[in-house]
Amino acid sequence: MTKLPQIGKPISRLEGRLKVTGSAKYAGEYEAEDLLYGYVVNSTITKGKITVIDTTEAKTLEGVIEIFTHENKPSTAWFDFQYADMDAPPGTVFKPLKDNDIKYNGQPIALVVAATFEMARYAATKIKLAYTEEKFETNLQSNLHKARDTKKGLASMLKPPPPKPTGDFEEAYQNSFVQSSGEFKHGTEHHNPMEMFATTVIYEGKDQLKIYDKTQGTINSQMYVANVFGLKMKNVQVIAPFVGGAFGSGLRPQYQLFMAVMASLKLKRNVRVTLDRAQMYTFGHRPPTVQFTKFGAEKNGKVNAIYHKAIGETSQFEDYVEIVVNWANMLYPAENTLLEHQVVPLDVYSPLDMRAPGGSTGMHAIEITMDDLAYKLNIDPLELRLINYSEKDKSSDKEYSSKELRNCYLEGAKKFGWSNRNPEPRSMKRGNKLVGYGMATGIWDANRLLARVQAIMTSDGKVAIKSAVTDIGTGTQTIMTQIAADELGLRLEDITFLYADSKMPFAPIQGGSFTTATVGPAVKAACKALNEKLFRKAKHLKNAVLSEMKFEDVIFSEGFIIVKNNPETKISIAEIFAANGGKEIKTTNTSMPNPLRYGKKARAVHSAVFVEVEVDEELGIIEVKRAVTAVAAGKIINPKTAESQILGGMIWGISKTLHEETITDHNFGKYMNPNLAEYHIPVHADIQDLNVIFVEENDTFVNDLGVKGVGEIGVVGMPPAIANAIFHATGKRINDLPIHFDKLL
């Protein structure tokens, strides 16, 4: 039996056993009668038109039911796809099978539906295709001259453009005591979650669908299906209780959802469409980006001039943008700033948010530039950041709702042993290995959106909490149960958190590290409202001992309403239900930030990262030996799941810095390593001693719980900290990611 309070306890994930035993069902694993299987055919050219798509032979194969192409695709609703996806950037959303135009390599051009997956896949090889090819451009580096400012749309609300220039950057920079400038590049990266994208559609008659989808937002997928196919929202149910990783790739509905629904509606059958690993490279990616920085500082280390420009890739049909250049002035207040972000439209699919989108890109350039300034000033890199410390976000001229970054620096440095560092590059050795210490700052937005939650108590004293929110592996189910247990005064065992079903109360897509801050307060509000209902009923009981009490005078604990200053005076929940005829008591509540108040302060989560690397002096092989990340993220609901999130981010930071890269052959406009053999990610041997510190931070402004997200902050500071450690070890400043050994030889 567990006891209160639950918030702050390192509770193991409630669904953990289901996952590790293989009992958890994912989108492509649900059983259905007479299930048909779809296999997607993808374009082998990058740009042009389909002139022939001959399905004659494929259709003669036994078990093949139908083949959908642009020539026989069922019509869709007039409603523009753009408004069917709450995460769509400005532009025109890609419409599968719309016509014979090829916009990018790997574009879905047909769907084979058969009685078995194997037959559908085999039949796909029998489709005869001919194209006329057109000239294409997929190389960002050779098209920087085509960079332009981005179009604005609803997406800019969560992805604000760079702040306007301040002061006179050029003059301040030229007159600075020291100057640091750099060009930074990183290539394309793909999400590669373990679970491939899949959709299982159960046709329930009269255009009524139950859909098991791999998604980070059940309601987003529901909206997409209903609007694109002209269905009533109530007739579309999307369910996604288990998601085998997504990292942003599931924020938007992917094309297998469209294909599966299209086939199901046309054939009036149950249909499943699953993508294979190579097809996971045919939608969305972290865009290759080129950045330019110029920072100037005074003799005492104060940064007085900041220039940061980023040029990222986008598609020809949408303007995907990230927050890349906004961060420097949020951390280091300078009077003279010039921040620019542009995109280059290329013949690729639209990029897509990937864990810490923009932040992990921009902070890499910012923190390496700060490190370079420190060396030129002969000031310790940690000391330089303390010199430029500010309680205010200079870019918005607002104070932070809370900021314990200073303690992150100090506690992280102490844990790491930063004071043992010899500041001279190439001065520290261990045998034939050069040893380097590097550090960097991390920052990420602390946002909150609208959410609704329902709480239902039954006569046995058990409570069901309902929300459409997904749990993409972060521990959402567990921490929401902890929040509910504390608010209701019940044990964890008495709470069931039901989630990831579009029929449940509204929750936004799970991303941006805002889920706990968004859904958590709604859980708290619904549970409080349920308690208030119980209290009102208790006051009206015959011979009620609480009749003269106010709600503030009582507490709820393990099935009783108890008077605070007289614990012997109490009423059991069972008595209330007996008087209520045993009927369930429920409430549905909405929680959202006050728009008039919320914008008055800057809100962010911060981190300080310290890294030790070893570099083989002869071979250039790099090992991250240990790292410490100190995080200030408000109240930590569950230290165990939160630490897991930060550790996962740190590992991804190592991966981003030293391993991950999707290689494009620009002669073909094609990704050449769409598999987990050649797309390199870390293995166990690459990950050594990683430590996480949560610095105490109290914030009553961000939300009722005082929580901030931890999903992204674990990533953003790692790449620059590793790169700075490599410089300290070798004396070589490498600004391009990933850093492979050949760059050190």
* 3 contacts: CB under 8 Å, gap ≥ 6: 491
The structure tokens listed for 254 are 């992917």
Q: How far is CA 315 from CA 114, 252, 490, in A?
A: 33, 15, 51
By C-alpha distance, which of 275, 230, 272, 232 is closest to 250?
Answer: 275
Q: Tokens 């369910």 belong to which residue?
A: 239
| Rounded Cα distance, 722 and 612, in Å | 8
- Secondary-structure percent of the chain, ordered helix, strand, coil, rounded to 5: 30, 25, 45
The last residue of a domain, from among 549, 575, 592: 592
Report the b/e string of 331-369 with b at 16+ CB within 10 A. Answer: bbbbbbbbbbbbbbbbbbbbbbbbbbbbbbbbbbbbbbb
431 DSSP 8-state letter: T
The structure tokens listed for 577 are 């239900």
Strand 622-632 and strand 689-694: pairing? Answer: parallel
Q: Check if the beta carbon of residue 219 is closer than 8 Å to that of residue 507.
A: yes
pLDDT for the residue 379 = 98
Percent of the chain surpassing pLDDT 70? 98
652 is a domain residue? yes
By C-alpha distance, which of 226, 199, 201 is closest to 83?
Answer: 226
Q: Check if the beta carbon of residue 72 is closer than 8 Å to that of residue 127.
A: no
pLDDT for the residue 159 = 85
Number of domain units in the chain? 3
Dump pLDDT digits (tens) for 281-335. 999 999 999 999 999 999 999 999 999 999 999 999 999 999 999 999 999 999 9
Indicate if 238 and 327 belong to the same structural domain. Answer: no
Sequence letter at residue 651: I
By C-alpha distance, which of 35, 197, 36, 31 is closest to 108?
Answer: 197
Q: How far is CA 733 from CA 182, 296, 447, 683, in A?
A: 10, 18, 35, 26
- Provide the residue count of the chain: 745
Cis-peptide into 5, omega within 30 deg: yes
Residue 95's CB is within 10 A of a number of other CB atoms, namely 16
Helix (H, G, I), strand (E, B) or coil at 51: strand
Q: What is the CATH number of the domain that holds 241?
A: 3.90.1170.50
| Rounded Cα distance, 635 and 633, in Å | 6
Q: Check if the beta carbon of residue 316 is closer than 8 Å to that of residue 351.
A: no
Indicate if 571 and 523 belong to the same structural domain. Answer: yes
* Beta bridge partner(s), residue 434: 429, 615
Dump pLDDT digits (tens) for 206-261. 889 999 999 999 999 999 999 999 999 999 999 999 999 999 999 999 999 999 99
The last residue of a domain, from among 592, 613, 631: 592
pTM of the model: 0.96
Q: Check if the beta carbon of residue 152 is closer than 8 Å to that of residue 90.
A: yes
Q: Check if the beta carbon of residue 500 is closer than 8 Å to that of residue 460.
A: no
DSSP assignment of 286-306, as one string? Answer: BPPEEEEEEEEE-TTS-EEEE
* 275 pLDDT higher than 80: yes
| Rounded Cα distance, 34 and 30, in Å | 12
Indicate if 277 and 316 belong to the same structural domain. Answer: no
Helix (H, G, I), strand (E, B) or coil at 468: coil
Indicate if 303 and 348 belong to the same structural domain. Answer: yes
Three-state secondary structure string covering 142-157: HHHHHCECCCCCHHHH
The pLDDT of 420-433, averaged and rounded, is 97
10 Å CB burial of residue 23 (0-12, 13-18, 19+) is: exposed
1 is a domain residue? no
| Rounded Cα distance, 737 and 294, in Å | 19
Indicate if 347 and 289 belong to the same structural domain. Answer: yes
Q: Check if the beta carbon of residue 630 is closer than 8 Å to that of residue 650.
A: no
519 is a domain residue? yes
Dump pLDDT digits (tens) for 40-83. 999 999 999 999 999 999 999 999 999 999 999 998 875 565 66
Q: Tokens 């409080």 belong to which residue?
A: 528
4 is a domain residue? no
Helix (H, G, I), strand (E, B) or coil at 627: strand
The structure tokens listed for 433 are 């290995």
The pLDDT of 678-685, averaged and rounded, is 96
7 is a domain residue? no
> Where residue 1 falls among pLDDT bands split at 50, 70, 90?
very low
364 is a domain residue? yes
Q: Check if the beta carbon of residue 189 is closer than 8 Å to that of residue 656.
A: yes
The last residue of a domain, from among 556, 575, 592: 592
506 is a domain residue? yes
Determine the longest span between alpha carbons in the chain, in angstroms: 86
pLDDT for the residue 156 = 53
Indicate if 414 and 539 belong to the same structural domain. Answer: no
* Beta bridge partner(s), residue 463: 457, 495
| Rounded Cα distance, 180 and 186, in Å | 20
E strands within 365-421? Answer: 392-393, 398-399
CA torsion sign for 123, 126, 132, 137 is positive
The structure tokens listed for 565 are 């200053």
Dump pLDDT digits (tens) for 531-582. 999 999 999 888 778 888 999 999 999 999 999 999 999 999 999 999 999 9
Report the b/e string of 265-275 with b at 16+ CB within 10 A. Answer: bebebbbbbbb
By C-alpha distance, which of 292, 316, 293 is closest to 146?
Answer: 316
* 470 pLDDT higher than 90: yes
pLDDT for the residue 499 = 98
Q: What is the CATH number of the domain that holds 726?
A: 3.30.365.10
Work out the mean pLDDT of the chain and round it to a whole number.
95
Indicate if 557 and 493 belong to the same structural domain. Answer: yes
Q: Residue 61: phi, psi to the nearest 5?
A: -70, 140
Indicate if 648 and 738 belong to the same structural domain. Answer: yes
Please tell me the least confidently modeled range out of 406-420, 428-442, 466-480, 546-560.
546-560
Indicate if 103 and 233 belong to the same structural domain. Answer: yes
Range of the domain at 739: 143-189+285-447+600-743
Indicate if 107 and 160 belong to the same structural domain. Answer: no
10 Å CB burial of residue 680 (0-12, 13-18, 19+) is: middle
581 is a domain residue? yes
Helix (H, G, I), strand (E, B) or coil at 203: strand
10 Å CB burial of residue 419 (0-12, 13-18, 19+) is: exposed
Indicate if 411 and 508 belong to the same structural domain. Answer: no
> Where residue 155 falls among pLDDT bands split at 50, 70, 90?
low
Indicate if 361 and 272 belong to the same structural domain. Answer: no
Sequence letter at residue 606: H
